[in-house]
Amino acid sequence: MLYSKPSLELFNTEFHGIAGQLKSYLLRITASVPDAEDIVQDTYVRAAEKLHGFRGESSLKTWIFTIASNIAKDNLRAQKRWVENVSDICREEAMGNPQFFGEAIHIRATSPHGAFEIREHIAFCFTCISKSLPLEQQLCIFLKEVYEFKVSETALILDTTEAMVKYYLHTARSKMIQIFDGRCSLINKEGICHQCSELNGIFNPKQKFQEELVKIEMARAAESVDKETLLNLRMKIVQELDPFESGASELQLHHLEHNRNVMEKYA
């Protein structure tokens, strides 16, 4: 299918219509608000300059995501992958950093986007753990499973074959399932990570954790569905949350900046 060449006016309308989604995608693969914002701006400029060369081989949205992904890949290839136990390392760093908790408590008390919500932290955790994947796998799992591009569109965005996209998706999903199964205490009683309950206790001391937990489909289904389904339920949560606009966005972005800074010391 060939798409017609858009006018600058149509391009602007399309770009601004997907800018929020593009920015959230870039945040989740870079773990950096400044980088995500810069890449959105660079993508707009580059796409506008190249609009005359748009050949209609994909939708305008796919083409824009291709440009953004290429810019992001140039930045990300120079960075080391995060370690699988990023949560443990960053927790230890946070416990020894009174300034971090002081800032977090202030955000919780004063910001309309400073709530602590378990669903938000599940999405946050997914972002952090995904950064332990090889870059192509990380991009594939977000593009296909979270932002719902087709396999053929994902192949175009990443300049690879559909067979390789399917391979990256299979290996990424398998790795994410393995990591979550060994770590997440919300779905596995032997999981070693209890950050959701610990942080809920800090930020919501009067809230009953188990009562909040039963509101989450993934936690309710943990003992009755397979691990593939549990991963899909995690990604459904990621799909439904805008990391810049949700009720907990400012608090979670503060946590993400902390984790990024800690991981940069391990590079």
153-192: per-residue pLDDT in tens? 999 999 999 999 999 999 999 999 999 999 999 888 888 9
Backbone angles phi, psi at 91, to 5 degrees: -65, -45
The pLDDT value recorded for residue 1 is 59
The pLDDT value recorded for residue 255 is 96
What are the residue ranges in the chain where pLDDT is below 50? none
Question: pTM (2 decimals)?
Answer: 0.94
Place of tokens 């506008």: 48
The pLDDT value recorded for residue 189 is 82
CATH number, span 1-79: 1.10.1740.10
The pLDDT value recorded for residue 57 is 82
For 103-114, the pLDDT digits (tens) are: 999 999 999 999
Query: Which residues of the chain form CATH 1.10.1740.10?
Result: 1-79
